[in-house]
Structure 1
Amino acid sequence: MIRRASSPRERRLAAALSIVLVAAVLAVFAGVGGHEYLAYDDDEAITGNAGLSQGLSSDGVAWAFRTTLVANWIPVTVLSLLADQELHGLSARFVLIENVALHALATLLLFFAFRRLTGTLWRSAAVAAVFAIHPLHVESVAWAAMRKDVLSGVFFAATLLAYARAVERPSLLRHGWVSASLAAGLLSKPTLVTTPFVLLLLDFWPLGRLAGDDGRFDPKRGGRALLEKLPLFALAAASSIATLFAQRSAGAVVAANRLALGQRIANAIVASADYLATSVWPAGLAVFYPAEVDGWGISRVAISAAVLLAITALCIVERRRRPWLLVGWLWFLGMLVPTLGLVQVGSQARADRYTYLPLIGLSILPIWTLAEIASRRPTLRRPLAVTSLVALVALGSVAHRQVGYWRDGATLFARARDVTRDNALTRSFLAEALLAAGRHGEAADEMRAALRLRPDYLEMKNNLAWVLATNPEIPLADPGEPFRLAVGAVEATGGRNPQTLYTLARVFERDGRFAEAERTARRAANLARSLGAEAFALEIEAKADELRGRTPDPKSGARRSEPGAAQGGSSLP
């Protein structure tokens, strides 16, 4: 049951530890104020989201509950961004600083909640410290679009604290605060759907609400604990339905033929083991880990499953003597479930941000186990304390370095390229960031690398052809490369995509084939207009008018990219 320490000395120590926790967050994340928005979700969620310009007007608030943000219905997160629009016009500096402030608040609430739930001071502070500075949490804080993560962290910790108070002195109002906190959390990020199960785990330990006087499970008490959480399960179910609907509407749920169920289960097993490994040894972290579409090797899946099953078995065996092992482990696995890709969303195998709340449970295992060892062998207290402090400092140091990789897109995706393999999507985002920085030759090299990994990457074929066509200063080892890429993109789209046709027109222009360029551009403009893309059609027509009547400069020589190519694009679809 809950124990509340109230001595003045302990209250002063708790206040001092709170200050230290906030200082640790600030020390690790101090650099984010100089970071930029990324062309990866930040553009869709913030910089390119016209609805945010409404601010906290009545129309803006109503819109927050109607819209989705990056394929998620998360109105509380949208409201926070609308407030940012009112305060500072969505400056990247202040949006990221607010992420840090929210993370610090979540850290404090977590400390208060654990102290109330467990009656411990140093162990609760240790759990909060791991949450505050673990390198896996950098992604959730240093990425502006992940406002939903830090907001959900605040409301999750508030739910735990409200639940501790409700258990301590039950009342309708106090249970109402639990429901309200969870509802706000679900409206910030729907992965909190497993929170009611976490509360049941806390009923088992440390609250001891499920056992009878003999220490064994009491079905009546268990039934009451489950019954009181029915409103929370109802909230979680409603959130799950809304989330699946929003993601299907946005096309974020991958078709069943992309990853079969067996592959998704295998990926979930491997991802869980990888999360465990990077929690213990956070090296080689990246913004994107590609899913293995061809499937994981049987040995990798078998080893991962064996590790997970062995830990689970150990926790079950020790559930009476060391109940925190089972609670922390099931907390970790249970809160990962919504993110493991059993319903595949996107093409990632895993993501660091998905550990934001599950890692709290995992941190319980070593912290309470070390405390038990120290209590049994007092001579080890000082060495264990020093070792724990060194480990925390090491985590903070790695996290601080990880924060630096998030300063801009080129740095972030270059890092991801370097620490992952066969990562075509990361190379495409790196190319985009390099283009934005004016580093066109390097961008073209990354695009070529992406195409070597995925020869069927249609968008990359078109993009590389465009870059080579519009940046003639890029040297070409193969003069026919832009033409082959552009024709391949046009053929792959059946000649029904105005963008690929326009790219081909620009390739013709690069090679001095202006008549062919004009004809192809007008064809692209007509197609764009038929598809309702009037602004794009006007842009293409302006280029076609510019090309009319132009002739190659005889001093420059002809640069025909494909000798013997069909004239006027007549052989194209």
Structure 2
Amino acid sequence: MKKPAGQDLLIVLALAAITALAFAPVATYPFIRLDDYGYVVDNTHIHEGPTPEALTWAWTTFEKANWHPLTWWSHMLDYRLYEADAGGHHLTNLILHILNALVLFGVLRKITGARWRSALVAAWFAVHPLHIETVAWISERKDVLSTLFGLLAIGAYAAWTREGGTRRYVTTLLLFAASLASKPMLVTLPLVFLLLDYWPLNRIPDLRDGKVLWNRLREKVPLFVLSVASSAVTVAAQRAGGALSDVENVPLTLRTANAAISYWRYIGKMLWPRELSIFYTYPSLEGGAGWSAGLTAAAVAGLIVATVLVFMARRRWAVIGWLWFLGTLVPVIGLVQVGRQAMADRYTYLPLVGLFIMLAWAGGEVCARFANRRALRAATAVAAALTVAACATGTRRQVGYWQDSITLFEHALTIAPDASSVHNNLGVELVLVRDWDRAEHHFQRARDIAPESPEAYFNLGRLLAGRGRSAKAAENLKRAAEIQPDRAASHFHLGLALRQDGRPEEAVLHLREAVRLDPTWVAALNQAAWLLATSSDAAVRDPATALRLADRAAELTEYRDPNTLDSLAAAFAASGRFDRAVETATVAQRLATAQGNQRKAAALGRRLEAYRRGKPWVTP
């Protein structure tokens, strides 16, 4: 017979092996353009780190509508190790996920004494298909990192309850703070500690003993203070990033209905993980159908009845498992709506542990009740193993949808065909692979489904402009600018489309508006200056303003960009200062040649000839 320590080691090795096998393909996958580029690929702070300046930035920024400095630090370390090799970043996520499964097993094993039930919970956690999104999406580093610190905090808390000591309590506090600094998802962890006091730590023998309850709450005050502070910072970050939905867009009644129904949808997907997607349409938004009053009432009543039944069962593990699931989902269940999704697989990462505990301990009780029936116990063990194998197989298959952005979004549309944002994201990906026709189709679908969303108009307009259909491009870009008038990019590209369509007077108005909204945007400054300096339309030409804008663009590029110097030379010529025009164009031509841009150098050569003859450059 194997010694207990040997059995635990075998369980640990088995957990690591099945998790690695289930998720192995992710190590070969690229970055997903949705968020991964903002978090890693295009984020200069991540590329610079870990420098003192970048590390400080991580603690002070609300970028991506979040405050999670330790997550930023982890991305910086990854970039130092792997640079832009996505496989390395994926591997870190997978390693952290494996560690989470092992720590979960270790903590449950320690506080419950139940080896095989703890192993089963950890195995389900490790390979359940609902956890693919957290592991396969580099941007969800915050989930795996926050959960690691959270599980370690549970272990530290359990040690403190057994042995006491300020050091152990401070360790718990620091690990909890690290979890919140990775992602604020676990703000409810102090309540989880309270649940664990009830079972399996048995520090609350009787719920009717008010004195004991008060003592258990009082000792957690520092933890609750951290939760409140983290919640306040999170709301500020999401409000600053525009992630919080207005009450007018998503009223409380709709949010409450969606929350109640989402609980049951999560349970359903836990039991039968099919039709998993990166995006689930929110009722009445993005083409979603509103929840019926009857379904809402049934969902709410069902939660109440289930809770009552759990308490009536007089099984502490059932109470804790159910309340763990309900409570840890509260921050993301949608009562405070963030984004446009109804629910998300990633939100279940730690909450499902509660349901897994209920199932594993229920199975354990069946085995204990029929201890003399070896065949029944064996059948229960085989059934448990088969569920783990089924989850691992499903995960290995489902993870294939994450092989690239196009595959991911196409799969999402098979589940939510009227998801405007998914059509839009797929359109962007198709543009990048030059599949213009399909991209146009998906942008049009996104626009038709959500006619008040500016992004589809913007992307469709840019695509049409690139295909030479300037009138239609201007029509869509104008609508994007009307919906979101303070977005400089909409005015900028509208200006370019109008100029392409032969409407320079309208074009210059929008180019100047783009400059007003973003005074340091070099491209907007440069395009506005060029049009004001070279237009053949006297009503548009404004040499003085052109000179001011062109000089600002050249200054921002340290007078080393041939394009901005080209516009500056044209502005000098339009102002009659041909000596400066020749001098500036000569420098621009030299820079273009040095950069290997022969086409630009040749164009500057033609303009130089005009300036030397005392003639400004005029475009039709």
The code of the aligned residue for 1:257 comes to E
Q: Which of residues 59, 70, 77 is equivalent to 2:64?
A: 70
Normalised by the length of structure 2, the TM-score is 0.80
Number of the residue aligned with 2:439? 443
Deviation at 1:313, TM superposition (A): 1.4
Q: Which of residues 136, 139, 143 is equivalent to 1:149?
A: 143
Q: Which of residues 42, 46, 53 is equivalent to 2:47?
A: 53
Number of the residue aligned with 2:548? none
Q: Does the Cα contact within 8 Å between 1:52 and 1:81 map onto a contact in 2?
A: yes
1:240 matched to 2:226? The reply is: no
- Inter-CA distance 310–148: structure 2 relative to 1 (3 Å threshold): same
1:534 matched to 2:507? The reply is: no
Number of the residue aligned with 2:320? 327
Q: What is the correspondence of 1:507-518 to structure 2 with a 5 Å cutoff? A: 509=500, 513=501, 515-516=502-503, 518=504
SS at the partner of 2:3? helix
1:452 matched to 2:445? The reply is: no
SS at the partner of 2:60? coil
- Inter-CA distance 485–111: structure 2 relative to 1 (3 Å threshold): same
- Inter-CA distance 445–542: structure 2 relative to 1 (3 Å threshold): farther
Q: Does the Cα contact within 8 Å between 2:424 and 2:455 map onto a contact in 1?
A: no
Q: Which of residues 394, 406, 410 is equivalent to 1:410?
A: 406
Q: 1:504-540, CA deviations, whole angstroms, 9 ceiling, x for partnerless residues?
A: 643773xxx4x33x44443332222222153132453
Q: Does the Cα contact within 8 Å between 1:258 and 1:293 map onto a contact in 2?
A: no
Distance across 2 between alignment mates of 1:547 and 1:394: 68
1:317 matched to 2:303? The reply is: no
Deviation at 1:495, TM superposition (A): 11
Deviation at 1:68, TM superposition (A): 2.5
Unaligned runs of 5+ in 1: 1-6, 551-573
The code of the aligned residue for 1:211 comes to P
Distance across 2 between alignment mates of 1:39 and 1:496: 22
Q: Does the Cα contact within 8 Å between 1:193 and 1:239 map onto a contact in 2?
A: yes
Number of the residue aligned with 1:563? none
Q: 1:212-240, CA deviations, whole angstroms, 9 ceiling, x for partnerless residues?
A: 6xxx6433332222222122111111111
SS at the partner of 1:368? helix
Deviation at 1:36, TM superposition (A): 1.5
- Inter-CA distance 493–41: structure 2 relative to 1 (3 Å threshold): closer
- Inter-CA distance 493–103: structure 2 relative to 1 (3 Å threshold): closer
Q: What is the correspondence of 1:492-511 to structure 2 with a 5 Å cutoff? A: 492=483, 499-500=490-491, 502-503=493-494, 505-506=496-497, 509=500
1:368 matched to 2:355? The reply is: no
Q: Which of residues 119, 125, 133 is equivalent to 1:139?
A: 133
The code of the aligned residue for 2:303 comes to L
User: Does 1 or 2 have the higher relative contact order (CA < 8 Å, sep 6+)?
Assistant: 1
Q: What is the correspondence of 1:56-205 to structure 2 with a 5 Å cutoff? A: 56-205=50-199
The code of the aligned residue for 2:171 comes to W
Q: Does the Cα contact within 8 Å between 2:111 and 2:158 map onto a contact in 1?
A: yes
Distance across 1 between alignment mates of 2:328 and 2:84: 31
Deviation at 1:100, TM superposition (A): 0.3
Q: Which of residues 272, 275, 279 is equivalent to 1:284?
A: 275
Q: Which of residues 20, 42, 66 is equivalent to 1:26?
A: 20
Compute the RMSD of aligned alpha carbons.
Answer: 2.5
Deviation at 1:326, TM superposition (A): 1.0
Q: Which moved more, 1:96-105 or 1:491-500?
A: 491-500
Q: Which of residues 330, 351, 354 is equivalent to 2:344?
A: 351
- Inter-CA distance 182–490: structure 2 relative to 1 (3 Å threshold): closer
The code of the aligned residue for 2:179 comes to G
Distance across 2 between alignment mates of 1:497 and 1:86: 34
Unaligned runs of 5+ in 2: 538-620
Number of the residue aligned with 2:200? 206
* Matched positions, count: 529
- Inter-CA distance 534–155: structure 2 relative to 1 (3 Å threshold): closer
Q: Does the Cα contact within 8 Å between 1:469 and 1:507 map onto a contact in 2?
A: no
Deviation at 1:384, TM superposition (A): 1.1
Q: Does the Cα contact within 8 Å between 2:243 and 2:338 map onto a contact in 1?
A: yes
SS at the partner of 2:244? coil
Q: 1:396-425, CA deviations, whole angstroms, 9 ceiling, x for partnerless residues?
A: 111112211112111111111111142111
The code of the aligned residue for 1:471 comes to R
Q: Which moved more, 1:114-123 or 1:156-165?
A: 156-165
- Inter-CA distance 353–539: structure 2 relative to 1 (3 Å threshold): farther
The code of the aligned residue for 2:256 comes to I
Q: 1:432-458, CA deviations, whole angstroms, 9 ceiling, x for partnerless residues?
A: 111122212111111111122122333
Give 1 or 2 for the bigger CA radius of gyration: 2
SS at the partner of 1:292? coil
Q: 1:369-414, CA deviations, whole angstroms, 9 ceiling, x for partnerless residues?
A: 0110111123311111111111111111111122111121111111
Q: Does the Cα contact within 8 Å between 1:271 and 1:349 map onto a contact in 2?
A: yes
Distance across 2 between alignment mates of 1:430 and 1:543: 34
Q: Does the Cα contact within 8 Å between 1:269 and 1:304 map onto a contact in 2?
A: yes
SS at the partner of 2:302? helix
Number of the residue aligned with 1:377? 370
Distance across 1 between alignment mates of 2:278 and 2:477: 30
Deviation at 1:44, TM superposition (A): 2.0
The code of the aligned residue for 1:119 comes to G
SS at the partner of 1:348? coil
Q: 1:90-139, CA deviations, whole angstroms, 9 ceiling, x for partnerless residues?
A: 53211110000011111111110000010011000111111111111111
SS at the partner of 2:403? coil
Distance across 2 between alignment mates of 1:115 and 1:491: 59
Distance across 2 between alignment mates of 1:59 and 1:402: 40
Normalised by the length of structure 1, the TM-score is 0.87
Number of the residue aligned with 1:469? 465
Q: Give the number of the structure whose residues are more often helix, by fraction.
A: 2
Number of the residue aligned with 2:545? none
1:273 matched to 2:264? The reply is: yes
- Inter-CA distance 32–545: structure 2 relative to 1 (3 Å threshold): farther
Deviation at 1:480, TM superposition (A): 7.6
Distance across 1 between alignment mates of 2:335 and 2:283: 14
The code of the aligned residue for 1:387 comes to A
- Inter-CA distance 488–226: structure 2 relative to 1 (3 Å threshold): closer
